[in-house]
């Protein structure tokens, strides 16, 4: 939305500068100094358009810096999100490795015989829940 206003403002300045140039040209032609007044015409056009060009350059420079600041903020937010995602997935990978390395060595009695058993990985959580439920 702001870009629309900046575009309208720049068009207004351009049209104003052109109107002033045309006014100066008609003034010089009407005064009858066309042949001898080319240097006067150049000085007048330069004197009238230089402030507008300077103001337009300053406004455009400000807008360029402002857009750069906005772009830098977006890049910083994206970098922070990417860094968070990287740390999160690294923690998930470490958790998965830790779970896969978990081992419970124990034994159970079946038909009066002592049978050794080993539970590895994610199956440990099922065993832990079963033991917890038997305690309650």
pLDDT digits (tens, 9 = 90+) for 64-122: 999 999 999 999 999 999 999 999 999 999 999 999 999 988 887 888 888 888 989 98
Structure tokens at 131: 């033991």
CB atoms within 10 A of CB 90: 10
Which pTM value belongs to this model?
A: 0.48
Helix (H) or strand (E) holding 83, with range, is helix 38-101
Domain ranges of the chain: 2-100, 102-135
* 119 vs 48: CA distance, rounded Å: 89
pLDDT at 49 over 80: no
Q: Average pLDDT, whole number, for the chain?
A: 84
At residue 27, does pLDDT exceed 80? Answer: no
Say how far apart CA 70 and CA 20 lie, in whole Å: 36
The helix/strand/coil state of 112 is: coil
């Amino acid at each position: 939305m702001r870009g629309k206003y900046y575009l309208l403002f720049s068009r207004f300045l351009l049209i104003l500068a052109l109107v002033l140039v045309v006014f100066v040209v008609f003034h010089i032609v009407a005064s009858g100094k066309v042949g001898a007044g080319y240097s006067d015409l150049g000085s007048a056009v330069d004197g009238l358009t230089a402030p507008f060009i300077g103001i337009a350059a300053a406004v455009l420079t400000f807008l360029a810096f402002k857009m750069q600041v906005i772009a830098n903020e977006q890049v910083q937010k994206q970098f922070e999100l990417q860094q968070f995602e990287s740390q999160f997935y690294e923690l998930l990978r470490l958790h998965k490795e830790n779970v896969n390395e978990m081992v419970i060595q124990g034994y159970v009695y079946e038909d009066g015989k002592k049978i050794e058993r080993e539970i590895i990985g994610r199956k440990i959580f099922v065993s832990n829940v079963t033991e917890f439920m038997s305690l309650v």
